[in-house]
Amino acid sequence: MSSEIINIEDIFAENVFTLATMQKWLSREAYEEIENIVEHGGELSGKTADIVAKCMKDWAVERGATHYTHWFQPLTGCTAAKHDSFITHPNKDGKMFLEFKGKELIKGEPDASSFPSGGLRATFEARGYTAWDITSPAFIKEDAVGKILCIPTAYCSYKGEALDKKTPLLRSMEVINEQSLRLVKLFGNTQAKKVIPSVGAEQEYFLIDRDLYLKRPDLVFAGRTLFGANAPKGQEMDDHYYGCIRERIGAFMKDVNIELWKLGVTAKTQHNEAAPGQHELAPIYETANVAVDHNQLVMDTMKKVAENHGLTCLLHEKPFAGINGSGKHNNWSLTTDTGVNLLDPGLTPNENIQFLLVLACILRAVDLHGDLLRQSASDVGNDLRLGADEAPPAIVSVFLGEQLEDVVKQLVETGEAKHIKEGGVLETGVSTLPDLLKDPTDRNRTSPFAFTGNKFEFRMVGSSDSIGDPNVILNTIVAESFCDACDRLEAADDFDMAVHDLIKEYMTAHKRIIFNGNGYSPEWVKEAERRGLPNLPTMLDAVEILTTDKSISLFEKFGIFTKAELESREDVLYETYSKTINIEANTMVDMASKQLIPAEIKFIGQLASTVNACTQAGVPCDVERDLLCEVSGLLAEMRSALDTLKDSIAKAREIEDHKESAFFYRDGVKVAMDALRIPADKLEMLTDKELWPIPTYADLIFEV
């Protein structure tokens, strides 16, 4: 074990061009211009852009950077970057000077015809532009390729249409800021100049041995196992959750933390998760767009560091059947620049009128637009997880906890909340242990959208997905409710009376969205249906929510998306779905044809020889014969399922319309995939381990 001393204070953000670093490197004038834009928005002057670019380059080069890149987040959900070195044409003496100009900092023009645009950008006008997001600091990434200065950017088409996850997020942050300021002003807060959505994303992941990973084409191509019988042990003993972290994993976590701290990511919590091989990392919450960028860095860093440790980090939502999959909890709150968290109920929430109005607005937002929230958390992998007794159901509801639910009940029934349920004291019964103050809200792990003290925790998001979309939706739908409330309260003669009535009205109209019970139970599905709450079980059921009249008018009202942008996103989602399932299906065909079936033929050959030999020798061989029949029967089943799958893929490929194709992949191809897996997994349980051609679940999950 190394005894090297890590000083977090020294290394934290050493690879980030933070405001503090800028202050050191820039002239006072230039720094103040930047600071002002970060705080209040606006555009950088050309002159200052040149100064900033030069300083940024000098700072990066001093740290060994050779290239810069506009780092952006296209609709693939990953990050993209093209590296440009700082070198310029040598002068006549052959001397070369490094250069980075203001216009290169502010704007880029990646040849981006290969990124998904959903028809927004025809190939003949393939221009796409990246623009510096000045509110998210530039940083240096250290990879095998060298040190690259990364400039976080938003990515738009020639006509300014958003082609990425960042642009709508920045738009939605401006909108929630504007509407929140209206709201706090109504309560007499005129000092606040800005309200920021804060986000903390807990990230779950699996680690497996890299050599074993490379022996599984399904993991390599699809990121999840497409075959595999359960290991004798799963997660039933609950011995992995919060359990002792093994040395190899510990070494990985240590390096991930160091890398992240250097990038200014506040990696804070780490622990083993419920499933064997599964872990979690959570940073401290920060401004939404920075949190979105940082979550991408967390995922990138995990993958890179895992490789250095002979491991592979799986971010897929469901790498293994039969044990828990992975998600992300998106913790969200709203804070003023004067330090007030609008979601902080204080000690007496029943008397905190501003909090009650905010709460009522959020209930209204989630009730009116729960379908959009659900859509924002859907991706192909998450279909295997949501509603499967390990993750929230696909039905959106709100968990408030006993105390707040009681406050809402009183408000709805009488228009006033006169008292609150106290948390009380939890007696430990041991004289040397302190008695603990009980939290008034218990935790409910089954709720998709839970109030947890001073924030809402949106728990549906998939582990591999960007948290951009969910935060766009949260910001927008809450802004819409704030706007509705402010329109009415600003026009009221008697504010106190009006706010009292409005809280009661919203809570009464939208209380059906509150559910404090067990979200995993089948009764909830029935109850939710009775309440009229939407249940969109799969990703494809949710895609078209983006372009309902209700959604279009919401997004257009606040300038988040145009109708064309929404239609393009819808198209990209359908296409992504088909492509993903197509890769999975082809991988299954490949593995079944080239690995599993040949292995079974060998096994059958061995069994048949044994049966023949035994018969000749005149010894009984009923066991061998039975096994031979069973294996041969399953092999025939597998072969026929394989043929069906191949036919299904061929049919799917003929469909040109993206939506129609996606539904065919779901209802045809995927069904055929499931059918192929059944005999294969049964065969795995019957086959000589020496002959089984791929590592098993037991090898993958327990041999780390």
* Residues engaged in binding ligand ADP (CB under 6 A): 198-200, 202, 269, 282-285, 329, 331-333, 341, 454-455
Question: Cα(317)–Cα(658) distance, rounded to whole angstroms?
Answer: 24
DSSP string, 365-392: HHHHHHHHHHHHT--TGGGGTTTSSSS-
Do the beta carbons of residue 459 and residue 327 sit within 8 Å?
Answer: yes
Q: What does 309 bind: Mg ion, ligand ADP, none (CB cut-off 5 to 8 Å by kind)?
A: none
Residue 284: CB minimum distance to ligand ADP, A: 4
**Residue from 21, 23, 20 nearest 32 by CA:** 23
Considering only residues 124 to 143 of the shown chain, the ones binding Mg ion according to CB under 5 A are none
DSSP string, 604-626: HHHHHHHHHHHHHHT---HHHHH
Which lies closer to Mg ion via its Cβ, residue 292 or residue 499?
292
Question: Cα(601)–Cα(644) distance, rounded to whole angstroms?
Answer: 20
Which lies closer to Mg ion via its Cβ, residue 289 or residue 330?
330
Which lies closer to Mg ion via its Cβ, residue 341 or residue 508?
341
Which lies closer to ligand ADP via its Cβ, residue 260 or residue 282?
282
Stretch that binds Mg ion, among 249-257, 266-274, 321-329, 571-579 (CB under 5 A): 321-329
> Residue 329, interface with Mg ion (CB under 5 A)?
yes
Question: Cα(256)–Cα(280) distance, rounded to whole angstroms?
Answer: 12
Q: Could you give the angle at the alpha carbon of 487 between the alpha carbons of 501 and 171, nearest 5°?
A: 125
The three state secondary structure string of 411-462 is HHHHCCCCCCCCCCEECCCCCCCCCEECCCCCCCCCCCEEECCCCEEECCCE
Q: Which residue is nearest to Mg ion (CB)?
A: 329
Q: Which residue is nearest to ligand ADP (CB)?
A: 200
CB-neighbour burial class of residue 300 (10 A; exposed 0-12, middle 13-18, buried 19+): middle
Question: Cα(166)–Cα(118) distance, rounded to whole angstroms?
Answer: 17
Q: What does 200 bind: Mg ion, ligand ADP, none (CB cut-off 5 to 8 Å by kind)?
A: ligand ADP
Strand ranges, E, within 294-394: 311-314, 328-336
Q: What does 696 bind: ligand ADP, Mg ion, none (CB cut-off 5 to 8 Å by kind)?
A: none
Which lies closer to ligand ADP via its Cβ, residue 199 or residue 585?
199
Amino acid at 156: C
Residue 204: partners with Cβ closer than 8 Å, 6 or more residues away: 273, 278, 279, 280, 326, 327, 328, 463
Residue 283: CB minimum distance to ligand ADP, A: 6
**Residue from 318, 208, 315, 296 nearest 252 by CA:** 208
The three state secondary structure string of 509-545 is HHHHHECCCCCCCHHHHHHHHHHCCCECCCHHHHHHH
Which lies closer to Mg ion via its Cβ, residue 204 or residue 367?
204
Q: What does 287 bind: Mg ion, ligand ADP, none (CB cut-off 5 to 8 Å by kind)?
A: none
Q: Could you give the angle at the alpha carbon of 370 between the alpha carbons of 367 and 371, nearest 5°?
A: 135
Residue 291: CB minimum distance to ligand ADP, A: 8
Which lies closer to ligand ADP via its Cβ, residue 151 or residue 298?
298
Residue 25: CB minimum distance to ligand ADP, A: 30
Residue 691: CB minimum distance to ligand ADP, A: 44
> Residue 240, interface with Mg ion (CB under 5 A)?
no
> Residue 328, interface with Mg ion (CB under 5 A)?
no
Residue 111: CB minimum distance to Mg ion, A: 41
Q: What does 677 bind: ligand ADP, Mg ion, none (CB cut-off 5 to 8 Å by kind)?
A: none
Residue 290: CB minimum distance to ligand ADP, A: 12
Which lies closer to Mg ion via its Cβ, residue 461 or residue 546?
461
Q: What does 454 bind: Mg ion, ligand ADP, none (CB cut-off 5 to 8 Å by kind)?
A: ligand ADP
Residue 250: CB minimum distance to ligand ADP, A: 20
Residue 364: CB minimum distance to ligand ADP, A: 20
Q: What does 284 bind: ligand ADP, Mg ion, none (CB cut-off 5 to 8 Å by kind)?
A: ligand ADP
Question: Cα(594)–Cα(507) distance, rounded to whole angstroms?
Answer: 60
Residue 391: CB minimum distance to ligand ADP, A: 14
Which lies closer to ligand ADP via its Cβ, residue 110 or residue 264?
264
Which lies closer to Mg ion via its Cβ, residue 203 or residue 551?
203
Which lies closer to Mg ion via its Cβ, residue 166 or residue 329?
329
Joined tokens for residue 163:
């082609």
Do the beta carbons of residue 598 and residue 622 sit within 8 Å?
Answer: no
650 Rama sector, left if φ>0, alpha if ψ -120 to 50, beta otherwise: alpha
Query: Residue holding tokens 């590592």?
Result: 695
Residue 457: CB minimum distance to Mg ion, A: 5
Which lies closer to ligand ADP via its Cβ, residue 199 or residue 592?
199
Which lies closer to ligand ADP via its Cβ, residue 341 or residue 562?
341
Pairing label, strands 146-157, 139-143: antiparallel
Question: Cα(182)–Cα(19) distance, rounded to whole angstroms?
Answer: 29
Residue 247: CB minimum distance to ligand ADP, A: 24
Stretch that binds Mg ion, among 42-50, 91-99, 329-337, 573-581 (CB under 5 A): 329-337
Residue 333: CB minimum distance to ligand ADP, A: 3
**Residue from 208, 374, 183, 364 nearest 278 by CA:** 208
Do the beta carbons of residue 478 and residue 488 sit within 8 Å?
Answer: no
Amino acid at 420: I
* Chain residues that interact with Mg ion, rule: CB under 5 A: 329
